[in-house]
Amino acid sequence: MNKFVLFLIKLLRGVCRPFFPVRVYGDSKFKNKKCLIVGNHISGWDPVIYMMWIKHIPSFVYKSDFDKSLLLHWIFGGLDCIPVHRGEADMTASKKILRHLKEDKAVCLFPEGTRNPAVDCLQQFHTGAALFAIKTKAPVRPFYIWDKTKIFHKNYMIVGDEFTLDGFYDKPVDKQLLEDATAVIRGKVDELRVRLNAILDAKGVKRRKRTKKELKKLAARNDIHSDGDQTPETDPRNGGEQA
């Protein structure tokens, strides 16, 4: 990573924390080493919230459209982030993710592949995370962000323990194996969702009221799912295969 960019991000996160208060449950100071970090995706702020409140900054997998901004392109490049061209088999991105893990670097990606307007549930996970974890035998660390980020609105995040997919190592990698391994990863993230909800319910914490725009997006999502349609994703989050 670029030392100047890393210094700048660490400086800015100290400045920005008061504007985006987050209570973190679980370990927020784990070691900088080979690890595949996975979590839910409910806002474009998710990577920012993670970087502000977790000590180690991993290389994020992000949508290449953000590279249209020269500033973001410079920041992402300085943090060794990996751009993904959605809608195509981006083997370059897949190779970069595998190389990062083999070089004992941490990589963070969102297996849902797209933001979830429903917030308190998980969408289907793509199989790319399982593929990368199995091929490199990298441990997986799950996290879960409770609500969509809003300025000055307290949010919550829970970080789980590392686990491995060792039960899937050294086996022929086929569609069924990847789906089974993906179910394990999704289950770990969902366990965090249930645990965090229980903690906050006991404290009487309620989610903020949804805005009209958010409700509209949720209604559109529900309409798509009720019609039985699915949007195919062909990118590294799906192991280079169409969902």
What's the mean per-residue pLDDT of the chain? 88
Determine the pLDDT at residue 146.
96
Q: Is 143 helix (H, G, I), strand (E, B) or coil?
A: strand
Looking at residues 139-162, what average pLDDT do you find? 95
Looking at residues 182-189, what average pLDDT do you find? 98
Hey, CA dihedral for 134, 136, 137, 139, is it positive or negative?
A: negative
Residue 30 above 90 pLDDT?
A: no
pTM of the model: 0.87
Determine the pLDDT at residue 231.
40
Residue 241: pLDDT band by 50, 70, 90 thresholds? very low
Looking at residues 15-44, what average pLDDT do you find? 94
Looking at residues 70-76, what average pLDDT do you find? 92
Determine the pLDDT at residue 211.
77
Amino acid residing at 73: H
Looking at residues 154-170, what average pLDDT do you find? 96
Between 124-128, 201-205, 228-232, the lowest mean confidence (pLDDT) is in 228-232
Instruction: Give the span between the Cα atoms of 50 and 37, in whole angstroms.
Output: 11
Amino acid residing at 75: I
List, in sequence order, the alpha helices (H) in the chain.
Answer: 3-16, 46-53, 70-78, 91-102, 128-136, 175-203, 212-226
Determine the pLDDT at residue 242.
32
Residue 226 above 70 pLDDT?
A: no
Residue 144 above 60 pLDDT?
A: yes
Determine the pLDDT at residue 119.
84
Please give the backbone phi and psi of residue 187, each rounded to the nearest 5 degrees, phi first.
-60, -40
Residue 23: pLDDT band by 50, 70, 90 thresholds? very high
What percent of the chain clears pLDDT 70, i.e. is strictly above it? 89
Between 37-51, 125-139, 158-172, 227-241, the lowest mean confidence (pLDDT) is in 227-241
Between 24-33, 126-135, 196-205, 225-234, the lowest mean confidence (pLDDT) is in 225-234
Q: Is 53 in contact with 28 (CB distance < 8 Å)?
A: yes
